[in-house]
Every structure is written in structure tokens, then in C-alpha cells.
Amino acid sequence: MDEERARELARVLGAASEQIGLALLDSHSSVERLGDSLERLAGLLSEDLSAPESARQIAEVRAEMARAITGLQFYDRMTQHLSHVRDYLSGTVDQLESASGTFETLNRRLADRLLSDTHRIHLGRNFAEDFLASRRKPGSNERTGGSQGDIDLF
């Protein structure tokens, strides 16, 4: 493997590792909130809910259950993010086996599939300065150049 290809591979692997870290970081607070919600649910369900005056407690159980279900949404986002990184690493293996071409197409495909501009910005830090230039709209900055519906809460 020539020196340039080794450097390119190191950048690809560093980018994949960073994306895995971001997926874990993105999910950390959601996991904590979900754990807190489940703990509150356990406490509420340990009370006697059969008494006629338990309507308030039952309403609390319902509200907490709704929060817990909402809290599980992180899992879908994290799974999508990690699936894209898995595909990226699989493509990297294919590139290495072919021993030809560059990783540029693979890098761009991952950037297109990432869930937020923050993820793309982190990916772009591993590559040439112009890596994200084609993704930006004229007059926009990196934080607001995302597609419609892109949620980026950091």
C-alpha cells in the first residue's frame, strides 16, 4: 500500500471512529432521560392504583409512559447513524480489496446519508477543506445549510 493510500485510509478510519463517537454522544442524554422515566414509572406502578382516588396517579403513569416512548426515539436515530457508518466501513473494505480508485465517492455517500449538519461537519474535518463546499448553499453557513427537516440540536 502506497503512502498516500495509507494516509487516506487513516482519514477514513478516523472519520468512521468519530461518527461512532457522535452516535454514542447523541444518545447519551436520551438514555439517561429514558432511565429516569422508567424509574419514575416503576415508582408510580408500585402504588395502589385500584383505589377510586387513583385517577391522578393513573394520569401520571400515562404521561410518564408517553415520555418513555418519546425517549426511545433516540434508538432509531442512533441505529440509522451506526448503520450508515457500518456501510461506510464495508465500502472501505471493498475499496481496499479493489486496490484502485479513491475513497472520495464513499466519503460523499456517507456525508449524504448522515442525519445532521453537525455529523457532516465532523466528517468533513477529516478531509480536504473543500469537502463540504458543494453541500453548502450560497450565503449559508455550515450550521444552517441542512436539508428541510434536518434536526440538529447540539
CA-nearest of 35, 53, 34, 54 to 44 is: 54
* 115 lies in some domain: yes
Structural domain harbouring 22: 3-30+74-135
* 142 lies in some domain: no
Query: Residue 99: left (phi > 0), alpha (psi -120 to 50), or beta?
Result: left
Q: How confident is the prediction for the chain on average, in pLDDT?
A: 78
Q: Are 30 and 50 in contact (CB under 8 A)?
A: no
Q: Are 20 and 89 in contact (CB under 8 A)?
A: no
* 120 lies in some domain: yes
What is the mean pLDDT of the segment spanning 42-49?
Answer: 86
* 143 lies in some domain: no
* 26 lies in some domain: yes
Q: What is the pTM of this model?
A: 0.57
On the question of pLDDT at 140 being above 50, the answer is no
* 51 lies in some domain: no
On the question of pLDDT at 14 being above 80, the answer is yes
Q: Across 81-121, where does the E strand assignment appear? A: none
Residue 1: its pLDDT value, please?
62
Place of cell 458543494: 134
The pLDDT tens digits for 77-105 are 888 889 988 888 888 877 776 766 667 87
On the question of pLDDT at 147 being above 80, the answer is no
Domain count, the chain: 1
Which cell goes with 22?
457522535
* 131 lies in some domain: yes
* 18 lies in some domain: yes
Task: Let me know how long the chain is.
Answer: 154
Residue 144: its pLDDT value, please?
40
